[in-house]
Amino acid sequence: MGPGKISMENSLGLKTESETDPLLPASGFASSSSSSNASSAEPSPLIKDDKFFGLSGQDEVLYAGYGGCDFNDVELRMIRAEERRVKEKELVMKLDCWLLPCLVVIYIMNYIDRTAITSARLKGLEHDLHLTDLQFDTVLAALYVSFIPAQIISNMILNRVSRPSFYISCCVILWGLTSACTAVTRNYHDIMLCRIFIGIPEAAFYPGAVFLLSRWYTRKELAFRSAILYFGSLISNAFGSLIAAGILANMEGQLGLSAWRWLFIIEGFVTIVVGVGSMYILPDYPNNTEWLTLEERKLACLRLTEDGGEADKDRSTDSAFRGLIAAISDYKVWIFAVMMFTQLLGLSFTNFFPTLTASLGFSTTISLLLAAPPWIFAAVGSLFNARHADRTGERFFHLSTPWIGTMIGFIIALVTADAGARYVSMFLMAGGKIGFALTLVWVSNVVPRPPAKRAAAIGVVNGLGNLGSLVGAFAWKKVWGPLYHPSMWISLIALMCTTLLAILMRSILIKENKKLDEKENEPLERSERERIQEAATLEGISFREAAARKKGFRYLY
């Protein structure tokens, strides 16, 4: 090491050399207290023109704080670009291997438990409980009485708890227990109570899972990971039918119970086991997940800080209630909510899919087996679609193209009664879920900060949007079968409205980005400077860097 240089080794084990500077103490490091005080207004004395002294090119050191995490050691701000990329890749791979599989399995059980009632209908549930067609439709809709408001409240709670792994897992156990209790129902009132109660813990999962993913993955990683999550829902439509076919065909009369009762007992028990296991697998937040190393937690915070232009952390004034007020005060959130409503109304055939395949004229077992391939097609398609959406950063066409395919499927089913053509139309109809998988991702992209507002926005959009599922429960009346033409007209018109709202949102975001382009070289307003100053303090970086990141933010459309 030549004279006039100092050697530094950070906690990641990365050695760097830097020219000595008269501003630095003899040790070459600024004290943590002085660095934290100076970072909000002036660059750290370790930095000159946003680079560390004596480093350039391949050896350039990325300087950043770790927003959302209370870490102050200056050493860990130095990570060589190349080694940073390697460590970031390892971190993302670790998350992909632990977080995603656990969420997918939970989502499979979530959807199987929620839709088991439609499979049970084919094996005598209505007869045994003495339900009329209207009562059965009401039982389906009863889930959403608790499910819709609970989604908003649950996501607000999730943003405030420090252990989302425990919160989500307890909800999984509760809905598994409630699902199993459905097996002992004897009449209309019993099953109504079960359906209402199961909606409360189930409401925590999907919007909560999307929010949890947004706390770990960047905007251009989120679409594909959310599609993997939704893959669990689509696969559950396929394999849920296969599992139901096996149970309903082989468990009739066992221990004196009807096969449909065994369906709820078995699926509820499996869900409880999954919930217990997820307590030990799901992560919490980047600053407190125990199965990550200290360096990995800091890097996870840093990634989100860089991606959003400010720390992914609520300010002291950002309470859950303020987050809700901020969300419902944003007109874009309401456009998304109406778009979700019409979309779920247009896709409400999902809960009746076994009934649709049964209308082709085959036996119960064959009908359930025929329900699987369309959902496998949709599941695989959602992964390819989301992967391309992440690579391009585009959102609108990746959502609207599958919707158009679904509308074509409805038109085919409306103009022909041929069983083969109608089965092909079911593939196109199921493909509409490919677009749905990215809807909450788009919401998260448009409302990135603060987390309190993002959590509330996701809950509001998904919660109010599920009113579409509530209305859709009455849109597929048995008297309209076996072709269900009125139902398909309702769904077709709803998806047309969804597409128009998506076009409106795209136009709004294009205009918003143009405004951001125009403001990039304008002086900052006082309120903007205060927010950037606070972000810089949270992140432990200079005001200039925080301002540059904030000005570089653009909406994805």
Report whether pLDDT(32) > 80: no
* pLDDT (0 to 100) of residue 473: 80
Query: Average pLDDT, stretch 423-429?
Result: 94
Which range of residues forms the domain containing residue 345?
Answer: 318-522
Same domain, 293 and 420: no
**CA nearest to 501, candidates 381, 345, 391, 326:** 345
Distance between CA atoms of residues 513 and 330, nearest Å:
16
Q: What is the pLDDT of residues 506-539, one digit of tens each?
A: 999 999 888 878 777 766 666 566 666 666 665 5
Q: Is the pTM of this model over 0.85?
A: no
Can you read off the two tokens belonging to residue 58?
A: 């391949």
Ramachandran assignment for 436, one of left (phi > 0), alpha (psi -120 to 50 degrees), beta (any other): alpha
The CATH code of the domain that includes 390 is 1.20.1250.20
* pLDDT (0 to 100) of residue 535: 62
Same domain, 208 and 104: yes
Report whether pLDDT(76) > 90: no
* pLDDT (0 to 100) of residue 83: 79
Residue 61, beta-bridge partner list = 80
Same domain, 323 and 299: no
Same domain, 290 and 348: no
* pLDDT (0 to 100) of residue 172: 94
* Residue 48 within a domain: no
Q: How far is CA 552 from CA 289, 310, 328, 484, in A?
A: 30, 11, 26, 50
Q: What contacts 521, CB < 8 A, 6 or more positions away? A: none
* pLDDT (0 to 100) of residue 310: 53
* Residue 528 within a domain: no
Distance between CA atoms of residues 181 and 215, nearest Å:
34
* DSSP per-residue letters across 404-422: HHHHHHHHHHHH---HHHH
Evaluate whether 458 touches 210 at the Cβ level (below 8 Å).
Answer: yes
* pLDDT (0 to 100) of residue 62: 37
Q: What is the pLDDT of residues 271-297, one digit of tens each?
A: 999 999 999 999 988 888 888 888 888
Same domain, 284 and 386: no
Same domain, 277 and 182: yes
286: helix, strand or coil: coil
Q: What is the pLDDT of residues 212-227, one digit of tens each?
A: 998 889 888 888 888 8
Distance between CA atoms of residues 453 and 10, nearest Å:
35
| Model confidence band, residue 252 (pLDDT cutoffs 50, 70, 90) | confident
* pLDDT (0 to 100) of residue 253: 85
* Residue 200 within a domain: yes
Highest mean pLDDT among 243-252, 318-327, 410-419, 530-539: 410-419
Distance between CA atoms of residues 327 and 62, nearest Å:
34
* Residue 516 within a domain: yes
Q: What is the pLDDT of residues 327-340, one digit of tens each?
A: 889 999 999 999 99
Q: Which helix (H) or strand (E) holds 244?
A: helix 219-250
Q: What contacts 259, CB < 8 A, 6 or more positions away? A: 123, 124, 247, 248, 249, 250, 251, 252, 253
Task: For residue 295, give the amino acid letter.
Answer: E
Evaluate whether 204 touches 170 at the Cβ level (below 8 Å).
Answer: no
Same domain, 142 and 249: yes
* Residue 73 within a domain: no
Q: What is the pLDDT of residues 384-417, one digit of tens each?
A: 998 898 888 899 999 999 999 999 999 999 999 8
Same domain, 187 and 262: yes
Same domain, 288 and 353: no
Please tell me what DSSP assigns to residue 78. Answer: -
* Residue 242 within a domain: yes
Residue scoring higher pLDDT (520 or 175): 175
Residue 501, beta-bridge partner list = none
* pLDDT (0 to 100) of residue 26: 35
Total domains in the fold of the chain: 2
Of the listed ranges 281-295, 355-369, 474-488, 521-535, the one predicted with least confidence: 521-535
* Residue 40 within a domain: no
Q: Which of 260, 285, 313 is the last residue of a domain?
A: 313
Q: What are phi and psi of 19, to 5 degrees?
A: -60, 140
* The residue to which tokens 């039982």 are assigned: 139
Same domain, 336 and 305: no
Same domain, 266 and 405: no
Please tell me what DSSP assigns to residue 481. Answer: T
Same domain, 221 and 256: yes
pLDDT, the chain, mean: 79
Of the listed ranges 12-16, 74-78, 158-162, 249-253, the one predicted with least confidence: 12-16
